[in-house]
Structure 1
Amino acid sequence: MRFPKFPVTDDHIHIDPVNGRGVEAAKDFLRAGGTHVFLVSKPSWSLSVHPSSGADFARVFDETIRIAGMIADTGVVVYPVLGVHPAEISRLTDRMSLEEAAGVMKGGLDCAARYVQEGKAVALKSGRPHYDVSPGILAASNEVLAHALALAYECRCALQVHAESGPCADIADMARQAGVATDRVVKHYGSPDTPLHPSLIAKHEAIPGLVRSKRPFTMESDYMDENSRPGAVTGPKSVPRYTNKLLESGQITEEDCFRIHAETIGNVYGVTILLP
């Protein structure tokens, strides 16, 4: 494996040694030229956790931290991102009231915030369903998201948001009301039209134009690491591969690579990205 000339950071990836390829996927990322990942906790049900209280999410977070250690052993620098997937509300309301479900999700976020405060994670994750839901579920989801923003303010950390496609301009308003800078609210699977910080799928066609305009953005694979869905959303090699493809075609420079994968990441998450 050649020594990388610049950092390559995947802003949103899942690694799952139980349901997916696990550390082998992280090794693929490393061999392709990747250096840093933001490891995002998976939904509770994918780890066979069925929470009845916020404290039950600790099992999900502890597993994420354990996997982070396994990834770090490969030489990849890993930053855990912990939170409650917004689709949890649809599962929880199958066995409890909507009010109770929202309470469990807020409790899970409280639990995640403690990991951030203890230095075990660098950011939180929340959002709202990206699929059609009833007005009641949407309102409750926005209430949970507002709670996540309040925690991000308290923890002085970034928040990754999983939500519907499009700009999500109202979330920017929610962030400002919570006192959180919009450039620290990351729109996972984002698009350039968002007033939040866009984390773009590695092959997004807008990347060269954003580089030319100097618009801050980051790149992600959203790799799910599930054997039942191999390669979804894109593979673990995608961020380094597309970064190098853009570099080799002259659409970006090494200076651009440092800005995308180190400088911008540092500004959003408050971490220092250095070559390992």
Structure 2
Amino acid sequence: MKLPETPITDDHIHFDPVHGRGVEAAKDFKRAGGTHVFMVALPAYTVGVCPRRGEDYRTAFDETLRVAGMVREVGVTVFPILGVHPIEVLKYADRIGLAAAADLACAGLDVAAEYVEEGKAVALKSGRPHFPVEPDVAAASEQVLVHALELGADLGCAVQLHAESGPCADIVDLARRAGMDPGRVVKHYATPDTPLMPSFLAKQEGLAEMARAGRRFTMETDYMDDNTRPGAVLGPKSVPRVTRTMLESGAITADQAWQIHAHTPSAVYGVEISL
């Protein structure tokens, strides 16, 4: 069976040539049929940056863009997403205190916003801890999240979120109060009950059924590219392979594949995805 030509987009993936496979993982993605990725910046400390002020994040963001350039040379279209991972607030709080860590994260987001404004990145990343934390940590993390949403509203860009498993329905109100369309707030590692824009892992049950029902969503691997955790969370071939399997079996149509991998991410992120 000759499959229809369709873009295949991974909405949340990392490439790390220092601690992982880097370009070789990107080659695997392409060989499996992948065409486009939203490459998400790793926490600053994982690329050797221990920020003390917002400007220090530039080194981490520039490293993300450097790796994105390497992946483009493989023939994969890369859309960078820059920001501050919510775990950074907790990590830096041990060094400078919680309030200062939240302020540092907000300052890092301000720098990431400059990259979006300059067209070097397409969206911001933020969020809140995905595990139970003390109320003061939760409040500080929400302060950072709201700041990211306000920046997204000002820039007119999407914001991709790391957060707890589940609907995260309260973030709809946070987004609206910030002046942002909740449909451009992407819940990374989403569950089907979220009212935000879901980015589902390729192993999520019911993908074909949701596509046939007209549910708007994207697909991701959350591939970590860490040699100490090979294949975590899913390998780089996963989104292409699952999509091809759904097409081969007739579980989804070519039009539905285009919706998942081109029309929806194009609308959410304000980018062009085509072959």
The within-5 A match list for 1:258-273 is 258-273=258-273
1:229-248 map, 5 Å = 229-248=229-248
Q: Secondary structure at the match of 1:94?
A: helix
- The SS at the match of 1:78 is strand
1:28 aligns with 2:64: no
- Whole-angstrom distance in 2 between the partners of 1:3 and 1:243: 11
Offset from partner CA, 1:108-164 (integer Å, 9 cap, x none): 000000000000000000000001211000000000000000000111000000000
The 2-side partners of 1:166 and 1:184 are apart by 18
Structure 1 position 210 matched with structure 2 position 178: no
Query: Residue 86 of structure 2 aligns with which residue?
Result: 86
1: CA distance, partners of 2:3 / 2:47: 35
Give the alignment of 1:104-183 within 5 angstroms. 104-183=104-183
Q: CA RMSD in A?
A: 1.1
CA contact (8 A) 1:218 1:261 kept: yes
Q: CA deviation at 1:206?
A: 2.2
Identity of aligned residues (%): 59
Tell me which residue corresponds to 1:63: 63
User: How far does residue 3 in structure 1 lie from its aligned partner after superposition?
Assistant: 10
Partner of 1:186: 186
Amino acid at match of 2:80: P
Q: Distance in 1 between matches of 2:178 and 2:206?
A: 30
Q: Contact 2:153–2:178 at 8 Å: present in 1 too?
A: yes
Q: Residue deviations 1:73-100, cap 9 Å, x none?
A: 0000000000000000111011011110
SS of equivalent residue, structure 2 residue 79: strand
| Matched position secondary structure for 2:105 | helix
**TM-score (norm: length of structure 2):** 0.98
For 2:179 and 2:247, the matched residues in 1 are separated by 37
Alignment partners' CA distance in 2, 1:46 and 1:238: 24
Contact 1:192–1:206 at 8 Å: present in 2 too? no
CA distance in 2, matches of 1:203, 1:252: 15
Whichever residue aligns with residue 177 of structure 2, its letter is Q
**Following TM superposition, by how much is the alpha carbon of 1:4 offset from its aligned partner in structure 2, in angstroms?**
7.5
TM-score by length of 1: 0.98
**Given that residues 262 and 273 in structure 1 are in contact (C-alpha distance below 8 angstroms), is that contact kept between their aligned partners in structure 2?**
yes
Stretches of 4+ aligned residues off by more than 4 angstroms: none
Q: What is the number of equivalent residue pairs in this alignment?
A: 274
Pairing 1:196-207 to 2, within 5 Å after superposition: 196-207=196-207
Q: 1:129 to 1:264 in 2, by over 3 A?
A: same
- Could you tell me whether the CA contact under 8 Å between 1:4 and 1:33 is conserved in 2? no
Q: For 1:206 and 1:139, how far apart are their aligned partners in 2?
A: 34
DSSP-derived class of the 1:161 partner: strand
Q: Secondary structure at the match of 1:203?
A: coil
